[in-house]
Amino acid sequence: MTTEVCPYCRTKAGADDPSIACEGCGTLHHADCYAENGGCTIFGCNKAPGDEPKVSVSTPELVAATASPVASAPQSHLGPAPPPSSRHGVASGNGR
């Protein structure tokens, strides 16, 4: 008897487990794994779940978002940065 491995959970899928063979490619999956994935787990199989919808932003939405005060860079509440330190005239304690 040949024991196959479920490509979803990567454990044995055999006659003792409720299994399903994909209608698209014939790959054996546990029935629960197939259901949880929403279809076949094999890349390129026509019974695999479709891509999740992508977020789309229209040009007017993008312009409105970049023009709003929320989208602008936060202002520092710490005050101005200190001036850059100068190494000129600073004596080193190690004689170099």
* Domains by residue range for the chain, with CATH: 1-65 (3.30.40)
pLDDT 10s digits, 33-83: 999 999 999 988 999 988 776 778 888 888 888 876 654 555 556 667 777
- Residue 17 pLDDT: 80
- Residue 68 pLDDT: 62
Element (DSSP H or E) covering residue 65: helix 59-67
pTM, rounded to two decimals: 0.50
Among 15, 19, 20, 21, which Cα is nearest to 1's? 15
- Residue 76 pLDDT: 57
